[in-house]
Chain A
C-alpha cells in the first residue's frame, strides 16, 4: 500500500511553504542576497522534513 494524497491537497502546501520560508528568511537578514539564500534553504529544509514524515508514514503503512 502506498500513502497517497490528492494533488489538490499537495498544491495547498505550496503557498504555505512559500509564505513561511519567505517571511522567516526575511526576518533573519537585511541584505537581499542573504535573504534569498535563507529563503531557499528554509524551503529545502521544510520540504525535506515533510518528506521524512512521508517516509515514516509510508513505512508505518507497510508494517500495519
Chain B
C-alpha cells in the first residue's frame, strides 16, 4: 500500500504514490463507486487515465463473457440445482451483481423474478435469474458449446480484477515487488525502490 500521510485539509486523504502526493478525496465513496462501475471511483478522484484503463478493460472482459455465454452466466443460486460459487467472484463488478442478487433472492423466497420475457422468451428464466431445472442448465451449456464456461471464466476474472481496482481507489497504488535483498530492509527498501523507478 502506498505510504499514507494524515492531512487536516478538507479535500480528502493524501497518500504518496510514485514519490508524489495523491489526493484520494473521500476514499470510501471512491471505493463504492469503483465497485459499482469499474473506473468510476478513479474518475471521481480525477485519475482519468486509470479510470479509462479500468473501465475499458474490466467492462470489456465482463461484456465479452456475457456475450459468449448467451447472456446467461451471471446469476446467484444456492440450491439443489446449482451451488453457484462463481457468483462470489463475479460480484466483484457491482452493477450486474445487484440485479443477479435480487433475482436470486426473489427466486429463493418464491416470488416471481423481475423482467421475465423482456429479453429471453417467457418460458425461460429472466435475465440474471438462475435456471429453473437442471435440464435448463444443461441446455445453456449445450447451446453455447464451451461459451458458458468461458463466459463464466471471463466474468469471474473481471470481478477479481475490479477488486484490485477498488483497492487502488481506496488506498492508492500497490508497491512494486521489492527484490529479495531489499525486502529484508523493510519499508525503507521499498521506498528507495519506488523513488529509483522514477
Chain A interface residues (CB < 8 Å from chain B):
12, 15-16, 18-20, 22-24, 26-32, 34-35
Please tell me if B138 contacts chain A, counting CB pairs below 8 Å. Answer: no
Q: Are B22 and A30 in contact (CB under 8 A)?
A: yes
Q: Which of A15, A16, A22, A30 has the most CB of B within 10 A?
A: A30
Please tell me if B148 contacts chain A, counting CB pairs below 8 Å. Answer: no
- How many Cβ-Cβ contacts under 8 Å join chain A to chain B? 68
Across-interface contacts of B154 in A (CB, < 8 A): 15-16
Interface size class of B (residues with CB under 8 A): 20 to 34
Given contact pairs A15-B64, A18-B57, a sample of 15 additional A-B residue pairs in the complex whose CB atoms are under 8 Å apart:
A19-B157, A23-B57, A24-B161, A24-B164, A26-B165, A28-B175, A29-B197, A30-B17, A30-B18, A30-B20, A30-B47, A30-B50, A30-B173, A34-B18, A35-B49
Q: Are A26 and B54 in contact (CB under 8 A)?
A: yes
Please tell me if B150 contacts chain A, counting CB pairs below 8 Å. Answer: yes
Chain B interface residues (CB < 8 Å from chain A):
17-18, 20, 22, 47, 49-50, 53-54, 56-58, 60-61, 64, 68, 150, 154, 157-158, 161, 164-165, 167-168, 172-176, 197-198
Known A-B contacts A15-B64, A16-B157, A19-B161; A27 and B174 likewise in contact (beta carbons under 8 Å): yes
Minimum Cβ distance to chain A for residue B97 (Å)? 18
Minimum Cβ distance to chain A for residue B181 (Å)? 20
